[in-house]
């Protein structure tokens, strides 16, 4: 049923898969008793939950799917660029570890790829 609802829309799949990934990552970090100092893993979790909410909006409101994927992709592109200058902390609050140096550019590239795939997908003719 879920596959039928999402259909061939790569951007909807991005919203689902990346949203689940970010939610799990954020919630497990919070469950481990994180802190909100500067920098603190709590701030990373809040950031991830905000992006999860954006992706959930894109998943539930089809008109906003492309905007949600674009937003998350741009956020992770900016994070990737920022990490080139500051290897350990984003915006003075969000700690960056080795996984982030892989995950951030990967999520940005996947967002761009899904937007391209959806743009090339033939549109249905109006009924």
User: What are 94's strand-pairing partners?
Assistant: 90
Q: Note the Cα 71 to chain centre separation in Å.
A: 8
- The whole model's pTM is what? 0.86
Bridge-based pairing state of the strands 94-95 and 89-90: antiparallel
CB 114, CB 10: distance < 8 Å: yes
Per-residue pLDDT of the chain (127 residues; tens, 9 = 90+): 555 555 678 999 999 999 999 999 999 999 998 888 878 889 999 999 999 999 999 999 999 999 999 999 999 999 999 998 888 888 778 888 889 999 999 999 999 999 999 888 766 533 3
């Amino acid at each position: 049923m879920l596959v039928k609802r999402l259909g061939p829309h790569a951007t909807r799949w991005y919203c689902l898969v990346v949203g689940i990934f970010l939610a799990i990552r954020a919630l497990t970090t919070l469950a481990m008793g994180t802190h909100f100092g500067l920098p603190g893993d709590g701030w990373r979790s809040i950031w991830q939950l905000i992006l999860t909410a954006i992706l959930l909006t894109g998943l539930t409101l089809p008109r906003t799917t492309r905007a949600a994927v674009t937003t998350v992709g741009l956020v992770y592109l900016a994070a990737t660029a920022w990490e080139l200058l500051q290897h350990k902390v984003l915006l003075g609050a969000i700690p960056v570890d080795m996984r982030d140096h892989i995950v951030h550019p990967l999520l940005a590239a996947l967002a761009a790829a899904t937007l391209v795939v959806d743009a090339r997908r033939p549109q249905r003719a109006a009924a």
